[in-house]
Amino acid sequence: MADPVSIVLVHGAFVDASGWQAVYAHLSDEGHEVLVVQNPTITLEGDVAATDQTIAAALHPVVLVGHSYGGAVVTQAGDNPKVKAIAYIAAFVPDAGESVAALNAAPADAGEAKAPVLPPDNGYLIVDPAQFPQAFAADVDPAITRFMAAAQVPWWLAAATAPVTRAGWKAKPSFYLLAKADRMVPPSAQRRMAERAGATLSEVDSSHAAMLSHPREVAAFISAAVEAVA
């Protein structure tokens, strides 16, 4: 590759960065430098800072990849001058002044579902553990998703309600992988956000956790984004 590009992976709410393991392996085997952000998910500002720190450690210009709430993080961190492009996977794509909570307030289309998030407990949010396996990753081994439900990372309400102040997709090429069987972020909402951002749109027949159930397809989507800007 004449102009090498690094890949930075940013996870979403309720989970940690380990969900990227299979995608990381595929991309690394292709010869990419791949870095993974471990977000605290306490404040949007803190998650953007963690992402900026990882971007700074990359050897090359970066394609920044966000899943779910990570889409808000990469939207703001995408303004970093080292970022060449932003890739979204079943993710929220806010504009400046919008929060994930505001985007999530829009009703789902008929036949679609929204995340079964429980009311805040001392300021933290989690997905109803009984509904987590089907809502988050119905196409993943239930033994894995039951553990994920029990091991959720509580999401601080302030991170969900904080508005993005900069929208990197307004100045950088963007790419979107829509999860057609998503029961956390409605597919119709994903399409609207992708189209508003002018993103190159791809689709995968997957639950919200596309990186777990379809890692090869997710890696191919990211590789295509890299090739488009390399």
Rounded Cα–Cα distance for residues 106 and 138 (Å): 23
CATH topology of domain 6-229: Rossmann fold (3.40.50)
pLDDT of residue 146: 96
Question: How many C-beta atoms lie closer than 10 Å to residue 52's C-beta?
Answer: 19
Rounded Cα–Cα distance for residues 17 and 11 (Å): 6
Fill in the amino acid letter for 129. P
pTM: 0.97
pLDDT of residue 3: 85
pLDDT of residue 2: 61
Give the containing element (helix H, strand E) for 112. none
pLDDT averaged per 10 residues, the chain (length 230): 88 97 98 97 97 98 98 98 98 98 94 96 96 97 97 96 97 98 98 98 98 98 95
Instruction: Provide φ and ψ at 173, rounded to 5°.
Output: -60, 140
Fill in the amino acid letter for 143. A
Do you know the residue count of the chain?
A: 230
pLDDT of residue 225: 97
pLDDT of residue 28: 97
Tokens of 59: 């050897």
